[in-house]
Structure 1
Amino acid sequence: MFAPRLVVIEVTGTRPDRPEYHAKVQVLNGRVVTDGVSDGWNVMRIAAADVTPDELLWDTRHADAIVIVGGEDITPSFYGETTGYEGETAHFAAADEGQIAVVRRALAAGTPLLGICRGLQIINVALGGSIVQHIDEGIHKNEGVPIDEILSTHTVTLTTTSGLARGLGGTDIVVQSAHHQSVGRLGAGLVAAAVAPDGLIEALEHHTAPITGVQWHPEAPDAPADQLPRLLASLRGHVESSRRERELVAA
């Protein structure tokens, strides 16, 4: 039986200076791996900061699909800005470089790719877009609470013609998010696929390639239970469609 290869790319495997944050990230990332395995994927998990950008490209060269998950802010130089902004987190420049290269190769090769939170921002930056370095978190993040309570629940409206609307079964959904940055200028070929009540872009899609980013966390414990499985199923649909096309060409 065909078991497609899913690569889950996180930022780093260790954060000794921020153990509570790291533990929260591991819960979220672990859910992506667990759901992938449950759905029949052959899952590989890689921490981008723990390898060189070239090694990351090499290790992911045979991926049938890729998920880039959440984490720290992208190094500002990758989108033409500087450090010193409000809410700034640690940066992992090598991880940024490697993940950006993975997105660009996925676009060129037609590899299905999903970005979650930071992963959405990586997609946008990789394709020449910009990042709003600090937003009024408002509905997007709970402030001044323990890390386990940081995720905020709110609605988003999906574009009716988007792949996300088809994959998630509707246009108005409830999500969980925790971000202090957002999409600014959209990268080349990207279109907004969802907006929050305050007008911020909450998802994007490439207009021709199977590349999607969501700013929220479908892998969060309190997110609607079917969100992440539906997103992984959409990735799998792209993989199987591409596989059938190759088999027809070879026949």
Structure 2
Amino acid sequence: MTRPVVGVSVYAERAQWGEVWDMPAALLPWAYVDSVAAAGAAPVLLPPVQGTAAAVSRLDALVLAGGGDIDPGIYGSPTGPRTAGVRPERDTAEVDLLTAALDLGIPVLGICRGMQLLNVVRGGTLAQHLPDLVGSSRHRQRTGVFDSHPVTVAPHTRIAEILGRTELDVATYHHQGLAELGSGVVATAWTHDGVVEAIEYEDVPNVVGVQWHPEMGEDPSLFSWLTDHVPGGCPHG
């Protein structure tokens, strides 16, 4: 049986490997690859370069991965002092990937930065540094460590159906979050401090975003959802 093909957007960063190599690279935490493969799909990595969106016609689903902050200029805000890791070429490439995926009607899962992008492309805005808003660092407690916090999901929503529950602990690592929701964007989960933790498009089926990192947890349901909702019931072959 042919596996569904799931594209995952990747970082463009300087990286080190082996004993001698230190150069620009296209990279992605391996947990994304493992999660997509464990769901029975074939992962395809999509680098942030012009023209990558042409590959979407060969995909059955798309994951917009986490990463650095989105350029605030996209949502009409000046860059705050704590905004970091902005990569304009990645912003442009991922907007193109999302546009192509929506045109084709394939499932889209936005993770962390990916969820924020789902909001921004619909005219929404971001809070550029959550500790200034909520008064704590609970969403990114330790540098380089995925800690956890509880999330409450609205019942009878797409994300509640996918997860099969409305209360859960999630792996978290982010310092930005949603501010104003974009057109047709519905918040469907929150932390106790009111930060939006999941969204969906009310007018487009099969589009969800989560602020947490499901690839770092033990619940495969979001990745299984991608492969269960291949358009037409059969993957590309």
**TM-score, scaled to structure 1:** 0.82
Query: Which residue of structure 1 aligns with residue 37 of structure 2?
Result: 37
Contact 2:56–2:101 under 8 Å retained in 1: no
SS in structure 1 at match of 2:45: strand
SS in structure 1 at match of 2:58: coil
Displacement, 1:233? 1.1
1:1-251 maps to which residues of 2 (within 5 A)? Answer: 1-12=1-12, 14-15=14-15, 26=28, 29-48=29-48, 51-52=49-50, 55-83=51-79, 85-136=80-131, 137-142=136-141, 145-147=142-144, 149=145, 151-207=146-202, 208-220=204-216, 223=217, 225-226=218-219, 229-239=220-230, 242-244=231-233
2:34 & 2:13 partners in 1: Cα distance? 17
Query: Which residue of structure 2 aligns with residue 19 of structure 1?
Result: none
Report the RMSD for the aligned CA atoms in angstroms. 2.1
Q: Which structure carries more helix by proportion?
A: 1
Following TM superposition, the consecutive aligned residue runs of length 4 or more in structure 1 with deviations greater than 3 angstroms are: 13-16
Aligned length: 221
Give unpaired runs (5+ residues) of structure 2: 17-23
Q: Which structure carries more strand by proportion?
A: 2
Pair 205,195 (structure 1): closer, same or farther in 2 beyond 3 Å = same
Contact 1:107–1:209 under 8 Å retained in 2: no
1:120-140, CA deviations, whole angstroms, 9 ceiling, x for partnerless residues? 011111121111111115321
Pair 87,152 (structure 1): closer, same or farther in 2 beyond 3 Å = farther
Contact 1:104–1:126 under 8 Å retained in 2: no
Contact 1:104–1:127 under 8 Å retained in 2: no
**TM-score, scaled to structure 2:** 0.86
2:40 & 2:143 partners in 1: Cα distance? 35
Contact 1:204–1:214 under 8 Å retained in 2: yes
1:209 & 1:120 partners in 2: Cα distance? 15
Q: Greater relative contact order: 1 or 2 (C-alpha under 8 angstroms, separation 6 or more)? A: 2
1:238 & 1:181 partners in 2: Cα distance? 30
1:232-251, CA deviations, whole angstroms, 9 ceiling, x for partnerless residues? 11111211xx21499xxxxx
Displacement, 1:77? 1.1
Contact 2:57–2:104 under 8 Å retained in 1: no
SS in structure 1 at match of 2:57: coil
Give unpaired runs (5+ residues) of structure 1: 17-21, 247-251
Of all paired residues, the percent bearing the same amino acid is: 32
